[in-house]
Structure 1
């Protein structure tokens, strides 16, 4: 049954791409689109309905016929449009956070290590990061409506493949397909918001979007924990199927184009270099924990990644129509805030992986208890996002970022002191404080950087910022999981060197304890000694893993401290006219 469902999902995906090609070919033959990137949009108007009327030809003297054809839309209610877009973004983020609590159970079901299973999160974020820059080209070429439908279909088909996956490779394939759709949805949502709302209303609009986006990760871990504990992790993917299908139907009837289409060329080499570059670095970080940092496989992929990224920069600076205009990095505040955002994401996503492993695999908490621990922090972050936005409008991002990073650095350091006796309430408090600090950082510094860019670079700045934030999160997750695994092995080796038969104190203690257990359980002395040895090995393994997690959090503390220092140099700039 599973084989047939997977085959049907793959067949649906093939049909989707064939339909995509046919519709694109029909559109090219119907519309005479101008060659080259379109000129910057005029100043946004107060409502989307007014913009739709204007683009539909109510002012023919201001627009050519080709422009009118490429922006042919009906009057669309803003509320309906935003409902469709936010629902798609909500379900994509929900699916990303659902998987975190289920990771320990997936490790058991598919018999894979932490280094392997973290690719479910790392790979998802990396594909998102790869799709974000190309999404700008796709939206320009095919329009927002067509690309949203395509993205939601990809996401839903990927969820189906994950739900019926018989092994880890099929599960990973489904996650990649999901991520290819989700990577289009997020930048498309931002494009819709920037187009629909005028500048004086964008603060409130982004606050509304932020609350909606925080609600998904707020309920994700708890819902995931309940489903994994009560039923199976496969329900996590079956859950999003009806939501995805419903949003596809709503988008088909309620969503129209809000962007102008243009016959821009696809920068294939830029896309290839960026994919190989970021993918090579990620693979190197992930494999270093098991293969070693000096192995040929790790060093080889790292060199390939670095060379590819250098070629990517060269390509984007030399080609006439780059996939991403790298001139955004000539603006110092944007560059600085993008670096800080990427560093913060490295620490943010890593904790979402390390804590469930500690809580479930080491402490024995249920998946539901693990999810409930993450819930208050996510809700607190959702409440604080609009408040942080209001404060940002008054004082800018610098001191918000400094305060937020101080809190984040302090709480991350506290997580580096976990023991086998750390209480549940203490972990809950630390995580909630950590997310409270994060709420002052994420959206504020990103907005500060984008405010420095001129209007014609907004789309490129948004794409570049989101790309590096996603890749930063992926690399941070891979790096810290690698540190956890390698340091756990290091601590285990130290324990083995200490608790050895050559140590007379240890031998005497094992003999004493074994004799006591043998007497209490009425078993032979040899059996008592063996039982003590087994318990000792389990304790060594447990303590080694805890120490490995602590070392990973210690590295994360250093990363956030670097971001804290950089935050002092963020300055407020006026948006260019």
Structure 2
């Protein structure tokens, strides 16, 4: 892949990549924009926070249900048609949400949106992997954009909208982006034949695997101060049982399972999937803690807190041009290891940050962390498919997305609970008075544990391919 012939991606292939990415941009920004609007929606609908929280929860849960369907759709339909249909579903959900007369209507619209998003995200990766050929690594740099931009720029866009317009515009803003994606699909996206029309739809496997994801994520939705409580235990246990039953079902179903077990014979797939789960926890958890730090310890508005995260996004952009070259030069394993040093170093520095730390120092830390996060994520996403036949890609993508969603939901929730527990410890056991400084100390505890999680990524990283492996 490093020869001269493959040095430049053909314009038709690059156009296809950007159209696919444009289609995924609105779904990836949507969830973070909506989170900013939740306090406003409580007042607009004159209801409680727990009721309004279902606007976010319904989207997340339905995504988990939809993901297993994406592989079957691509196996049995032209990829262009399947991606177009997913865009239309998301667009209909966005329009319906913007026109919602009441909360129940809005929650229903979010179910439609979530189902469309649950199809779009895995289809983006699958279609590009199948079409990329020798340009695979270069195009994966494009695929990673919406996944990394969502947590950074979603809150900024959401904050700007809520500062100057009504909540409906959180959903109206999706319309032009989705419409442009649909036009691009009609205009530029080529026909992409169905990959495996002979493969039957695994209804039982889809229900079991989708049920596992939904039960586990719903447990997080119900969690309050702990992940293991009377409220969450039934759903966690149900999720575990459904997963065990699915493994048994997939063993007998073999290659016709929605997520075939033979995929886990590819060591790069196993290492990359586990790495992506942990990296998602680190990235989302860091954004959560930083946003909380800027608002609670520094007194920033939600919009200014989002602006303060921009250096992290700049770091990601700065790293992109070099990532492709470094993947070829170093191999996936070494690049991830070197990049993790930057991530762990950045998180270690954040354990020393308090309410008085100079913002230039914090911005520098975020810039370096952004470079590290980008060059961890992209190699992991790319190496998941190393040595894998084209026909296995749709199912492989289902696995990575489901496990990322479940792991990310649990990871960020766990980090938030660790911070809350540390805050309680400081206020009660240490008898410290509540202040911005105490809040900063509690957040330092969260950054410490995120650093520990980042270190754990070194373990699955051993399974990644090296420079010598194709």
TM over 0.5: yes
- TM-fit CA distance, 1:159: 2.1
Q: 1:196: which partner in 2? A: 131
Q: Could you give the per-residue CA deviations for residues 48-69 of structure 1, whole angstroms, max 9, x where no partner exists? A: xxxxxxxxxxxxxxxxxxxxxx
1:561 counterpart SS class: helix
Distance 1:427 1:108 in 2: 34
CA 1:307–1:360 in structure 2 vs 1: closer, same or farther (change >3 Å)? same
Distance 1:558 1:479 in 2: 13
Q: 2:449: which partner in 1? A: 555
CA 1:94–1:465 in structure 2 vs 1: closer, same or farther (change >3 Å)? same
Distance 1:108 1:416 in 2: 36
- TM-fit CA distance, 1:384: 0.9
CA 1:326–1:357 in structure 2 vs 1: closer, same or farther (change >3 Å)? same
1:289 counterpart SS class: coil
Q: Are the equivalent residues in 2 in contact too, given 1:104–1:360 (CA < 8 A)?
A: no
Q: Are the equivalent residues in 2 in contact too, given 1:156–1:244 (CA < 8 A)?
A: yes
Which structure has the larger Rg? Answer: 1
Q: 2:3: which partner in 1? A: none
Matched, 1:465 2:359: no
- TM-fit CA distance, 1:565: 4.3
Q: Are the equivalent residues in 1 in contact too, given 2:152–2:306 (CA < 8 A)?
A: no
Distance 1:491 1:229 in 2: 35
Q: 1:270: which partner in 2? A: 205
Q: Are the equivalent residues in 2 in contact too, given 1:362–1:546 (CA < 8 A)?
A: yes
Name the count of aligned residue pairs: 459
Q: 1:474: which partner in 2? A: 409
Matched, 1:348 2:283: yes
Q: Are the equivalent residues in 2 in contact too, given 1:289–1:485 (CA < 8 A)?
A: no
Q: Could you give the per-residue CA deviations for residues 43-89 of structure 1, whole angstroms, max 9, x where no partner exists? A: xxx9xxxxxxxxxxxxxxxxxxxxxxxxxxxxxx6576445423212
Distance 1:369 1:467 in 2: 33
Q: 2:273: which partner in 1? A: 338
Q: Could you give the per-residue CA deviations for residues 119-162 of structure 1, whole angstroms, max 9, x where no partner exists? A: 76676455444433320101222322332222112212222344
After TM superposition, list the pairs within 5 Å mapping 1:36-115 onto structure 2.
81-99=16-34, 101-102=36-37
- TM-fit CA distance, 1:416: 3.8
Distance 2:142 2:205 in 1: 34
Q: 1:483: which partner in 2? A: 418
Matched, 1:434 2:369: yes
Q: Could you give the per-residue CA deviations for residues 310-333 of structure 1, whole angstroms, max 9, x where no partner exists? A: 111111221252111121112223
Distance 1:297 1:122 in 2: 16
Q: Are the equivalent residues in 2 in contact too, given 1:406–1:564 (CA < 8 A)?
A: no
- Out of 461-470 and 546-555, give the one that drifted further: 546-555
CA 1:117–1:404 in structure 2 vs 1: closer, same or farther (change >3 Å)? farther
- TM-fit CA distance, 1:182: 1.8
- TM-fit CA distance, 1:566: 4.0
Distance 1:451 1:355 in 2: 34
Q: 1:134: which partner in 2? A: 69
2:326 to 384, 391, 394: 391
> Is there any run of 5+ residues in structure 1 with no aligned partner, and where?
1-45, 47-76, 500-538
Distance 1:405 1:364 in 2: 31
> Is there any run of 5+ residues in structure 2 with no aligned partner, and where?
1-5, 7-11
RMSD: 3.5
After TM superposition, list the pairs within 5 Å mapping 1:516-555 onto structure 2.
540=434, 545-555=439-449
- TM-fit CA distance, 1:390: 0.9
Q: TM-score, normalised by structure 1?
A: 0.70
Q: Are the equivalent residues in 1 in contact too, given 2:296–2:439 (CA < 8 A)?
A: no
Distance 1:454 1:575 in 2: 16
CA 1:558–1:208 in structure 2 vs 1: closer, same or farther (change >3 Å)? closer
Distance 1:295 1:116 in 2: 21
Q: TM-score, normalised by structure 2?
A: 0.84
CA 1:126–1:379 in structure 2 vs 1: closer, same or farther (change >3 Å)? farther
